């Protein structure tokens, strides 16, 4: 693995000994860019400053507060996150999955497992991100459809057009102005609100 394609990895761990083991395992696996964050205060700001590709969080016996802070991090940064804990309960695992943690490993960490866990973590994250993207796209298409329906209704009422004529007018205007139909429809709705 060449240096330029080695992902930047952040280790979040209050224990320097555990972090050193992790770091050594990462370097042996060919990961050269590793940053260790020890301080839990303003963790999010520190992570943003490093802007890593992957985040490893190593917690011994995480309290609810610490876990909650980690979940806030995972919601905010949108990066693959592997969380290592020594012991856990199903509620924590459930919460971590909902918060977007890509891999949650309960029996602590062994050096030789780092590479496969990271690979799993990244592939899960990518699969999840793809699903999210598709969901967003579907949601915005539905939203567009509703807006277009409303704009057609306004055009039919104001200009006495049929539904097909209203749609053709929307589409031709969008093409002429090099905009999406949804944008033109939104302008019509906004204008009609203002003219009420």
CATH of the domain at 103: 3.40.50.2300
* Tokens at 99, concatenated: 């918060």
pLDDT band at 83 (very low <50, low <70, confident <90, very high): confident
Answer yes or no: do 13 and 96 share one domain. Answer: yes
Contact, 54 vs 79, CB < 8 A? yes
Cβ contacts of 35 within 8 Å, gap of 6 or more: 8, 9, 10, 11, 50, 52
- Which pLDDT does position 2 carry in this prediction? 43
Can you give the residue range of the structural domain that contains 146?
A: 136-194
At residue 4, does pLDDT exceed 70?
A: no
- In a domain, residue 121? The reply is no
Of 1-5, 12-16, 50-54, 130-134, the range with the highest mean pLDDT is 50-54
At residue 35, does pLDDT exceed 60?
A: yes
- In a domain, residue 117? The reply is no
Task: Please identify, among 90, 109, 128, the residue that sits at the C-terminal boundary of a domain.
Answer: 109
Report, as an integer, the average pLDDT of 150-164: 94
Answer yes or no: do 20 and 84 share one domain. Answer: yes
Number of domains in the chain: 2
Report, as an integer, the average pLDDT of 48-56: 89
Answer yes or no: do 87 and 23 share one domain. Answer: yes
Answer yes or no: do 9 and 103 share one domain. Answer: yes
Answer yes or no: do 8 and 104 share one domain. Answer: yes
Report, as an integer, the average pLDDT of 133-162: 92
> Pick from 57, 143, 60: which is nearest to 100 by CA?
57
Angle CA 135–141–176, to nearest 5: 145
Report, as an integer, the average pLDDT of 139-158: 93
């Amino acid at each position: 693995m060449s240096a330029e394609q080695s992902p930047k990895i952040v280790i979040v761990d209050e224990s320097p000994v555990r972090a050193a083991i992790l770091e050594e395992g990462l370097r042996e696996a060919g990961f050269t860019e590793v940053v260790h964050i020890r301080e839990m205060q303003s963790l999010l700001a520190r992570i943003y400053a490093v802007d890593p590709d992957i985040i490893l969080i190593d917690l011994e016996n995480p309290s609810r507060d610490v876990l909650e802070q980690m979940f806030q991090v995972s919601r905010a940064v949108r990066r693959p996150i592997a969380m290592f804990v020594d012991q856990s309960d199903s509620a924590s695992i459930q919460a971590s999955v909902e918060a977007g943690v890509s891999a949650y490993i309960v029996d602590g960490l062994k050096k030789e497992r780092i590479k496969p866990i990271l690979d799993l973590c990244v592939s899960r994250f990518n699969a999840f991100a793809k699903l999210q993207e598709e969901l967003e796209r579907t949601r915005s298409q539905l939203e567009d459809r509703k807006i277009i329906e409303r704009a057609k209704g306004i055009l039919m009422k104001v200009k006495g057009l049929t539904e097909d004529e209203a749609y053709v007018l929307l589409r031709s205007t969008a093409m002429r102005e090099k905009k999406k139909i949804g944008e033109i429809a939104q302008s019509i709705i906004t204008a009609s609100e203002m003219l009420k």
